[in-house]
Amino acid sequence: MYSRILVPVDLDNVDKLGKALETAAEIAKRDGATVVYAGVVDTVPTPSARPEAAVAKERLDRFAAEQAEAHGIETADQVAMRRDLHLNVGSELIGLAKKTDCDLIVMASHMPGLKDHVFSSNAGYVATHAPVSVYVVR
């Protein structure tokens, strides 16, 4: 049913992604899909941002390889540089889903708090704006 699954990851908070990672791996196994792990790095467009992007890519490469081995799935990864900090991370994730031809996005969410009633969460934004199916895991 699905061929490419985008899974946004924050490598500084992997401990909060367990259910989303497991869900994506299960769907990938069932459908023979590739899981594309996506990271968004906040930066400003300067030459000093290049090493930051390279380090983020190396970390995500290692993470994807570890997930492939742990779950027996095919993986890939993609990093986006968010140069405009006013843009919602969700718009970057949707762009990555389009760029990598993903037909499903599986992402972690959190229990909504007061801030979420004023500002949209990343998962909420993606779920309402993505042109593909979105599976939000809490």
Model confidence pLDDT, tens digit, residues 22-48:
999 999 999 999 999 999 887 665 565
Q: What is the dihedral of CA 77, 120, 87, 2, to 10 degrees?
A: 30
Range of the domain at 96: 4-137
What's the pLDDT tens digit per position in 41-72? 876 655 655 677 788 899 999 999 999 999 99
Whether 84 shows a pLDDT value over 80: the answer reads: no
pLDDT of residue 54: 83
Number of domains in the chain: 1
Neighbours of 56 (CB within 10 A): 19
Among the residue ranges 45-54, 86-95, 103-112, the one predicted with the least confidence is: 45-54
* Residue 69 one-letter amino acid: E
pLDDT of residue 46: 59
pLDDT of residue 118: 46
Q: If we measure between CA atoms, which residue out of 51, 99, 94, 107 comes closest to residue 76?
A: 99
User: What integer is the mean pLDDT of 79-97?
Assistant: 84
CATH code of the domain in which 72 resides: 3.40.50.620
Task: Please tell me whether residue 59 adopts helix, strand or coil conformation.
Answer: helix
Helix, strand, coil shares, percent, the chain, to 5: 45, 25, 30
Question: Percent of the chain beyond pLDDT 70?
Answer: 83
Q: Report the C-alpha gap between 59 and 9 in whole angstroms.
A: 11
